[in-house]
Homo-oligomer: A and B are copies of this chain.
Amino acid sequence: MTKRLCVIGGDAAGMSAASQVRRSSKETEVVVFEMGSDVSYAACGIPYFIAGLVPGIDDLVARSASAFREQGIDLRLRSEVKAIDASSRRLEVWDHESSSSYEEPFDYLMIGTGARALMPPGFELAYPAHNLNDARQLDELIQSNRPKRVVVAGGGYIGLEMAEAFRIRGLETHMVEMQDHVMATLDTEMAVHVEDALEKAGVELHLGAGISQVLSEGGRVTGVVAGEREIPCDLVVAGLGSRPRSEIASEAGIEIGESGAIAVDHAQQTSVDGVYAAGDCAEVFHLVRQRWVNIHLGTIANKAGRVAGLNIAGGRARLPGVVGTAMSRICETEVARTGLSEREASTDGRDYVSAAVTTSTRAHYYPGAGEMHLKMLADPDTKEILGTQIVGLEGAAKRIDVIATAITAGMTVSQVVDLDLSYAPPFSSVWDPVQVVARRLSSVMDSSSE
């Protein structure tokens, strides 16, 4: 008997689930409701579009609406789901085209509503860089108003990448970060290397005070106030984080987790049978913190969406969880982290030991070798790795994947020292940098246990 899957949201999580069901189950009808006009786009690519490295905004679309339709997915754009009736298993859909609403029944539901950019009061004239519409507007504004000075609010991943984009585009670029250092996901001693890279890239940093006011004249931005300072500018872009869009689920009586995102199990099912959620709007299990968290990354959305799809199609897939891996780049400098930072370990009340090294991205004699800073944390009792942070030049950041894998496998620090990792002079020293920091941490643990 034919079953009907309705999917709310046509980005990474929603379309991964829809495609997976389409592939795995011929009998399931798949209907996707997307409130905007774009599907399956790479929000992570927005900074590179703004920088001018990606020729057109359509290049950021991984797969077009028509490709999904050809696959047999009933994809409805500008169709906003206003309410979920979990007991009668019906959706209330608002069609922005015809300005009318209708109801749609479902057997299975997949919620992939994503997140919204955090825009505090007073930021009405600031621009987010959250979806393709934001990107279009921002690009149009830059082309029409020709701003000369931009303030990037927030020194996280988006802020970092947008700052690089504006520098490439030739704008005088300021970054305002409320905390004393950029990149709150890194410990201070690692964040300062990112700050060096930002300054080297020509970004002026204003740390330790957030933006209290966006100044304007006649609807045009003229500057911002950050602490005691006034920074004149003609454009403000906000990278202040994002919040899960979980209201529609909450209103339907679906359980919301402590993080404010939709609570799910490892099969991506919510508290309501047959109703799944994945991506930025849902929680995901953190294998190191051993609790459910809410992290907004495309990698997680794709994996979780796929697992939801496999299960809706009758499979028994489980997403074990994440370990907090993330990476970014500011010009030549790469940044990556996985597991717990010292700050997170403290917050969680975890006992830890740590070590840091500065090493080289290549063999010492090979031309073009650059600095690479690593910091590693471990549990002093089990000796298991808790987390690692890397800041360095070409080839530095992707090494975090070795540690993400090791943490997932529950490896100890000395097991990483023993790993049979690859080596050639253009790529590393004979001990890979992740093993250099592991050896240092191993010594620290040995001497502290004597």
Which of A's residues lie within 8 Å of B, judged by CB? 12, 42, 44-45, 48, 53-54, 59-60, 62, 161, 287, 297-300, 302-303, 319-329, 336, 338, 363-367, 395, 397-402, 404-406, 408-409, 411, 415, 417-428, 430-432
Q: Roughly how many angstroms separate A161 CA and B53 CA in the complex, as a whole number?
A: 33
A404 surroundings in chain B (CB, below 8 A): 419-422
Can you name the residue of chain B whose Cβ is closest to the Cβ of A317?
B414
Can you name the residue of chain B whose Cβ is closest to the Cβ of A60?
B365
Contact B420 A328 (CB under 8 A): no
Contact B408 A419 (CB under 8 A): yes
Contact A45 B427 (CB under 8 A): no
Q: Roughly how many angstroms separate A299 CA and B422 CA in the complex, as a whole number?
A: 8
Contact A423 B365 (CB under 8 A): no
Contact of A401 among B297, B300, B422 (CB under 8 A): B422
Contact of A302 among B327, B364, B415, B430 (CB under 8 A): B430
Q: Roughly how many angstroms separate A424 CA and B43 CA in the complex, as a whole number?
A: 11
Contact B422 A325 (CB under 8 A): yes
Contact A329 B424 (CB under 8 A): yes
In the complex, besides A42-B425, A299-B423, A300-B420, 17 extra interface pairs with C-beta distance below 8 angstroms are: A42-B363, A53-B366, A59-B364, A287-B420, A299-B422, A302-B431, A319-B418, A320-B415, A326-B422, A327-B427, A329-B427, A395-B395, A395-B398, A397-B422, A398-B428, A404-B419, A408-B419
Contact B327 A422 (CB under 8 A): yes
Can you name the residue of chain B whose Cβ is closest to the Cβ of A365?
B59
Expressed in whole angstroms, the minimum distance between the Cβ of A60 and any Cβ of chain B is 6
Contact A364 B430 (CB under 8 A): no
User: Shortest 9 CB-CB distances between A and B: which pairs?
Assistant: A409-B409, A327-B422, A322-B420, A59-B365, A405-B405, A325-B420, A401-B421, A299-B423, A323-B420
Can you name the residue of chain B whose Cβ is closest to the Cβ of A286?
B420
Expressed in whole angstroms, the minimum distance between the Cβ of A89 and any Cβ of chain B is 30
Contact A422 B406 (CB under 8 A): no
A366 surroundings in chain B (CB, below 8 A): 45, 48, 53-54
